[in-house]
């Protein structure tokens, strides 16, 4: 998505899809984030004003991923523990959901569940492979498919299109969407992330996240931060059974094309993958816990 498009071209891509505005609480938190000395008390007060948001922050902090001995019961404790970046990442993920109608949210339960799981797994993988910014991996996991609920609102047949996309043995997921809808969830996700002022590198990975073959099966793509994030994301998607939950498929066709290259790039082997899958399965995450 490095090439700048005209306003008319962007409108054609969006096809009347409304990109939800950045929530005011996120704007306020980002303003606090850029201060030389962010005030955690003010941040905690902002979050506490939204009961649903405060509850979700506490739920995340008390999840098995953090492995805390004592249950955290205050927003201030949670913010102090996980840091401002993680708090903003969680809010980013929730904000898309808040823009959906009740009917859309109910129909997309499998999407919300897998987005949270992929975010947690991506952060864990990032830490394991020594990626220096695991919060960015978490945010990518939450946000990479944010175009899906927006397309679902726009097209009544989108779930069927998505399942057909994951089932095609040769074409990319986004190729089928482009053929049938003249747009795709990766490009919609890119413009959403961009409009919310998320980091450019993350926006670019969102745009490319179904183009992984070009990055890992080609000698022309040099190592980069974006390539590392993409590798972490594709591994997390596979571990979480994204192909089953969203695509309703028994085989991960996309992963089959890039698995060896992605694992090698991250310095991992098949044994490492098996161990990860087993560890996350114990937490209730993975394709082992989802049945077609």
Better-predicted residue by pLDDT, 81 or 216? 216
Angstrom distance (rounded) from CA 6 to CA 3: 10
pLDDT band at 18 (very low <50, low <70, confident <90, very high): low
Could you say which DSSP state residue 289 is in? G
Angstrom distance (rounded) from CA 194 to CA 10: 12
How many helices (H) does the chain have, and how many strands (E)?
A: 18, 0
Query: Where would I find the beta strands (DSSP E) of the chain?
Result: none
Highest mean pLDDT among 176-180, 200-204, 231-235: 231-235
Whether residue 204 contacts residue 183, with contact meaning beta carbons closer than 8 Å, is answered with no
Which distant-in-sequence residues (6+ apart) come within 8 Å of 103 by Cβ? none
- For domain 103-289, is the CATH number 2.40.50.140? no
Residue 139 clears pLDDT 90, i.e. is over it: no
Question: 31: which 2 tokens?
Answer: 């303003």
Sequence ranges of the chain with CATH classification 1.10.3210.10? 103-289
Report pLDDT for 5: 47
State residue 231 phi and psi, 5-degree precision: -60, -45
Better-predicted residue by pLDDT, 208 or 24? 208
Residue 145 clears pLDDT 70, i.e. is over it: yes
Angstrom distance (rounded) from CA 246 to CA 173: 11
Residues 158-188 as b or e (16 or more Cβ within 10 Å = b): bbebbebbbbeeeebbbebbbebbebbbbbb
Better-predicted residue by pLDDT, 109 or 178? 178
Which secondary structure element, helix H or strand E, spans residue 107, and what is its range? helix 102-107
Angstrom distance (rounded) from CA 226 to CA 206: 10
Residue 103 clears pLDDT 60, i.e. is over it: no
Nearest to 55 by CA among 94, 29, 89, 82: 94
Angstrom distance (rounded) from CA 138 to CA 142: 6
Whether residue 130 contacts residue 265, with contact meaning beta carbons closer than 8 Å, is answered with no
Report pLDDT for 289: 52
The whole-chain average pLDDT of the chain stands at 81
Residue 1 clears pLDDT 50, i.e. is over it: no
Whether residue 214 contacts residue 262, with contact meaning beta carbons closer than 8 Å, is answered with no
Dihedral sign (CA 1, 218, 163, 111): negative
Longest dimension (CA), the chain: 54
Residue 36 clears pLDDT 50, i.e. is over it: yes
Report pLDDT for 126: 95
Tens digits of residue pLDDT in 249-290 = 889 999 999 999 999 999 999 999 999 999 988 888 875 555
Report pLDDT for 78: 84
Residue 99 clears pLDDT 80, i.e. is over it: no
Better-predicted residue by pLDDT, 290 or 203? 203
Which distant-in-sequence residues (6+ apart) come within 8 Å of 176 by Cβ? 161, 164, 165, 168
């Amino acid at each position: 998505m490095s090439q700048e498009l005209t306003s008319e071209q962007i409108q054609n891509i969006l096809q009347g899809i409304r990109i939800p505005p950045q929530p005011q609480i996120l704007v306020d938190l980002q303003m606090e984030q850029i201060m030389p000395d962010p005030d955690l008390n003010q941040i905690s007060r902002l979050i506490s004003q939204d009961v649903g948001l405060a509850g979700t922050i506490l739920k995340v902090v008390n999840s098995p991923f953090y492995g805390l001995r004592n249950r955290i019961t205050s927003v201030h404790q949670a913010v102090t523990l996980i840091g401002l970046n993680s708090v903003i990442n969680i809010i980013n993920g929730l904000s898309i959901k808040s823009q959906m109608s009740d009917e859309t949210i109910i129909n997309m339960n499998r999407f919300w569940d897998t987005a949270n799981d992929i975010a947690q797994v991506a952060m864990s993988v990032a830490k394991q492979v020594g990626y220096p910014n695991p919060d960015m991996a978490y945010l990518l996991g939450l946000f990479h498919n944010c175009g899906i609920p927006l397309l679902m609102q726009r097209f009544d047949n989108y779930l069927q299109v998505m399942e057909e996309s994951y089932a095609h043995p040769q074409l990319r997921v986004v190729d089928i969407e482009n053929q049938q809808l003249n747009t795709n969830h990766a490009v919609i996700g890119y413009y959403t992330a961009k409009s919310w002022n998320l980091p450019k590198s993350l926006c670019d990975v969102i745009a490319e996240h179904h183009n992984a073959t070009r990055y890992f099966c080609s000698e022309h793509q040099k190592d980069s931060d974006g390539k590392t994030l993409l590798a972490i994301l594709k591994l997390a998607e596979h571990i979480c059974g994204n192909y089953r939950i969203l695509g309703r498929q028994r085989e991960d066709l996309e992963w089959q094309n890039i698995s060896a290259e992605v694992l090698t790039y991250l310095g991992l082997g098949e044994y490492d993958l098996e161990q990860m899958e087993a560890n996350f399965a114990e937490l209730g995450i993975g394709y082992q816990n989802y049945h077609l």
